[in-house]
Amino acid sequence: MTLIADMLLFAASVGAALYCYVLAARLRRFTTLEAGMGGAIAVLSAQVDEMTRVLEKAQAVAGQSGQRLAALTARAEELSTRLELLVASMHDIPPLAPTGAVSADTSRFIRPEMAEDARRARLVRRRPVMDHLEAAE
């Protein structure tokens, strides 16, 4: 009986030794840096570091773009306020009369292109036209 128990104990020990040997071989292949899981982990770790740097750069660029956009928005609001004031001040200027209704005394002060295009209205001062006879006198 002792002999059978010793044989079973020896068989169990050999089985455990084989199991440990196979497990160590699998673990060695799992942790090799070239082809195993260790290599995949190392590659993924390097990619995570690179993506972290890229994300930090993208956040910095987005912050700068946000600041530029805020500055441009503030400038646009300031210009729109100025334009509103200019448009409000344009209400004080009398409109140009149509070309057919211009009185004779003011027709010599208005250029023809100003009468045709009211958008380009400008104030132009000219000397009154003198006849050649007046200049000779």
How does pLDDT run across 45-71, given as a tens digit for each residue?
Answer: 999 999 999 999 999 999 999 999 999
DSSP state of 95: P
Q: Which long-range contacts (CB under 8 A, 24 or more apart) does 85-93 make?
A: 93/121
pLDDT digits (tens, 9 = 90+) for 72-91: 999 999 999 999 988 888 87
Domain boundaries, given as residue ranges, for the chain: 94-126
User: Residue 20, exposed/middle/buried by CB under 10 A (0-12, 13-18, 19+)?
Assistant: exposed
Would you say residue 107 has pLDDT above 60? no
Contact 39, 33 (CB under 8 A): yes
